[in-house]
Structure 1
């Protein structure tokens, strides 16, 4: 997916007023996600993202343990100035649903297998419970 298209989708789903807001959310969420994915799954997802976001995913923040969805939202809120857990949930949902679209159903399923239970809702894929 191209950079502009990815950000346009994030901006639309997140109802951001600027591309910069969408980009900020995408960088933070993908950096946190990258810390939770390993191996071939992370590499395949990176290959389906715009290059800049692929690099963010491949050079993630370091996670000492897999974060349950609630803690992932709190971590996102901590990285976004002025965010609350509710606004972070909005940011995460916008970015991860576009990421799931870029990944496709099969890769999205394999991504969810690497994450703690409950991430399916963050990706907008509740059928993968």
Structure 2
């Protein structure tokens, strides 16, 4: 039996829900906060949510992790992120201290898909299949 899943793509979210935000530090923080809240709403109804966003600030990623129960926030970072990720000349990317995985290959590669699928399988096994379970309970 399959699982419902949705990908929150950062570009798509910025064109709709977050179109009022720019790229200053406070706007980036609000963008990630909103994405985290939307991801939590999906999780509340049993939908696996994958948020694919550029999140340069560790504090914002940690805030998203904090609003979800343990095990519901799984963070991956691209190994070459510091040279590949351009977030602004004076706005460096803060590398995660406790991410669950590092991708050293293209996101579209078979290896990346296999790694992410394995992590999702582990998540489902660890959290059961109770679609009526609310995260806010």
TM-score (norm 1): 0.30
- From the CA coordinates, give the structure whose radius of gyration is larger: 2
**More strand, by proportion:** 2
